[in-house]
Chain A
Amino acid sequence: MSTRSAVPPDARRVGWGQRFSRWDIKVSPYLYVSPFFLLFAVFGAFPLLFNVVVAVHDWHRRAGMGDFVGLDNFTWVLRQPLFWRSLENTFSIFLWGAVPQLVLALLIAAVLDQNLRVRTFWRMSVLVPFVVMPVATAMIFGQVFGQFGLLVPHLQDLGLLTGSDSPFFQDRLLSHMAIGSMVVFRWTGYNALIFLAAMQAVPRELYEASTVDGAGRLRQFFSVTLPSIRPTMIFVTLTMTIGGLQIFDEVRLYDGGGTGGGKGGADNQWTTVVLYLYELGFGDWQDRLGQAAAVGWIFALIIVVFSLVNFLLTRSISSSRSRGPRVTRAQHRAAVARARAVAAGSAGPLAAGLPPAPADAPAVDADLQEGANR
């Protein structure tokens, strides 16, 4: 009480301010991250758990929860030929989309990674497909690949195709290739820019060193560029896998959707798993939410496993590539030193105002070492 009388008249306000400040420091950090966690709890974590409940029950849109059926939904799904067919389709379409995409993206990135004129223009142009609505792409490609589209009549003239209906819709493999081409269209430029960013982070000394050692451009690409952007390649392959397997928009509207359409063809030539799940739950193939939930679980598991396999595969492929033209650490160092000497002596591009940046050297060597060790 005696201390209280000693403080100035505005003590109450100061005290309140301090109390608020302390509360502010303690609580605010949690407060600021809470919107995400609240939202995730309700729309992320809870549905995940709830899905277990749905998957072991009979469940319908109107009637809601029905009888407990144990694992019956899972065994039912695994006995459906259509489930397996859609799984095959999904992987086939994924491969037809992913492999050309990866190769083309690397090629385009390598072309963009040069001293081009109007650089920004080219970079922007390759990104245009990224903003084109996938369902619109599907409609347009459907038209192009159709019987009277831009391809089939010419192939018929050449005698490569026959029939009165477009084989890009009738034939299973050809329809997968057509849908794969939509995926290639949408993502190649995007991934090329990602690769380009990674390529630009490759220390230029490596290129100079390899040039001094007499490597051609092709050899440089395979022995310097590819091993250096390995982490990015793994990243791209992984996102490509997770996104690519969940393909829905393109397959749904390839034949224009609408009444009777959008089911993946008369013979389910191009029905994918997510389309199967959708039709099982909400489409014309009965109102089976329990079974659809089971498909969700099974497919999530497949995606996780496949991503893991893919991850390990990409890692081993790109490391074996870097192992091919192996150079010892000493050779690398010598080459770098030679390049620096050349650059410093000839007033080449590096020497123009740029010191050899000795602080940079250990990092470069560490990179080389890492590359050589893997």
Chain B
Amino acid sequence: MSTGYIENTAGKGAVRYAHKRARRGRPVPQHDSTGRRPGWLSYGLLVVVVGLSIFPLYAAAMYGSSTSQEIARAVGDLPTWFPTLVLLENFREVVTASQFNFWMAFANSVLVAVAVTASTVFFSTLAGFSFAKLTFRGRQVLYVTVIATMAIPAQVGTIPMFIMMNDFGWIDSLAALTVPTLVTAFGVFWMTQYLQEALPFELVEAARVDGASMFRTFWSIAMPAARPAAATLALFTFVGSWNSFFWPSVVMRSQLTMPLVVPQLKGAFTSDTGLVMSGVFLVAAPLLVVFVVAGKQLVAGVMAGAVKG
């Protein structure tokens, strides 16, 4: 991050210089005004924050690692501090439960999230390319319209949307979860913002002069340039789709997605808190895997969005 600051204020040459200094073992100018290391208090606070951040999922795994007897005995305490094999037993019971079809719900969630993510990224980049780099009559008005639509509270549309889905025959179908969110205003806004800066007009013009069609220009010039922002948008869209609960619980009946499994857990395993919690963990865990792989990108995305938003 310090090189980013140097680059912004003093240019690329200064970054090269800073790297050269670092290689020779001399102090590199820090983004922090003093460059001094913070004291133990800062680290102590961060450790507490990190602990609280991971605690709920950890607690779920610990409850899931315990039998109901163990949980009943551990009043006011976690039943165990380390995962046990009971967790795997419980997982097996959750995925083979007769009250709901876990694997079907998992497949539904994956299908919807992948479809929504791929489509949102593609169409948002396409629209972003158009808004950022092409000239056409009404561009400004249309772009402002896109931004304005973001301010509409989603709840106003719930009831009429349900009635529409009913008329379309989409109740209890994955189409109801996918089609309405194939491209979002936020996605278009995000990609436009990024492409305005990341894609030089000269590149677009060069491609045009070389005889590339508009779509070819988009596909070979804009798409590669948009990749970092597209990856971030994909992450946000995937997380949002995977976790979404309100709209699915309006339109779905017997077909479930991962979040819809959660309210079923208590009904299925009434008195067995360990089983319920292992199910809760299982449903939330896939995104944890995504986070381990792409968390860095997510952090960069949140921080980039802040500066522009």
Contact = CB atoms under 8 A, between A and B. Distances in A.
Same complex for A and B? Answer yes
A354 B10 contact: yes
Interface string A87-125: 000000000000000000001100111111101101111
A133 B296 contact: no
Contacts, number: 349
Contacts of B243: 131, 133-135
A51 B273 contact: no
Given A36-B146, A353-B18, A153 B287 contact: no
A240 interface: no
B157 A48 contact: yes
Q: Bin the interface of chain B by size.
A: 35 or more
Contacts of B163: 50, 54, 59, 64, 289
Main SS at interface, chain B:
helix
B130 A282 contact: no
B302 A354 contact: no
Contact of B30 (A26, A115, A134, A252): A115
Nearest to B259: A135
Contacts of B267: 258-259
A99 B271 CA distance: 36
Interface in B27-73: 27-38, 42-43, 45-46, 49-50, 52-54, 56-57, 59-60, 63, 71-72
B306 A193 contact: yes
B53 A111 contact: no
B160 A50 contact: yes
B18 A48 contact: no
A137 to B, nearest CB: 6
Contacts of A46: 160, 164
A265 interface: no
B154 interface: yes
B265 interface: yes
A137 B162 contact: no
A36 to B, nearest CB: 5
B105 interface: no
Interface stretch (A4-12, A139-147, A172-180, A312-320): A139-147
B33 A232 contact: no
Contacts of B26: 352
Interface of B: 1, 5-6, 9-10, 14, 17-18, 21, 26-38, 42-43, 45-46, 49-50, 52-54, 56-57, 59-60, 63, 71-72, 75-78, 123-124, 126-127, 129-131, 134-136, 139, 142, 145-146, 149, 151-164, 166, 179-180, 182-183, 185, 188, 213-215, 218, 239, 242-243, 245-246, 249-250, 258-259, 262-267, 273, 276-277, 280-281, 283-284, 287-288, 290-291, 295-296, 298-299, 302-307, 309
23 contacts: A29-B130, A33-B188, A40-B149, A47-B156, A47-B164, A48-B152, A51-B160, A107-B45, A124-B296, A125-B50, A126-B49, A139-B276, A148-B72, A148-B75, A200-B31, A249-B259, A277-B158, A299-B155, A300-B153, A352-B28, A352-B29, A353-B29, A354-B10
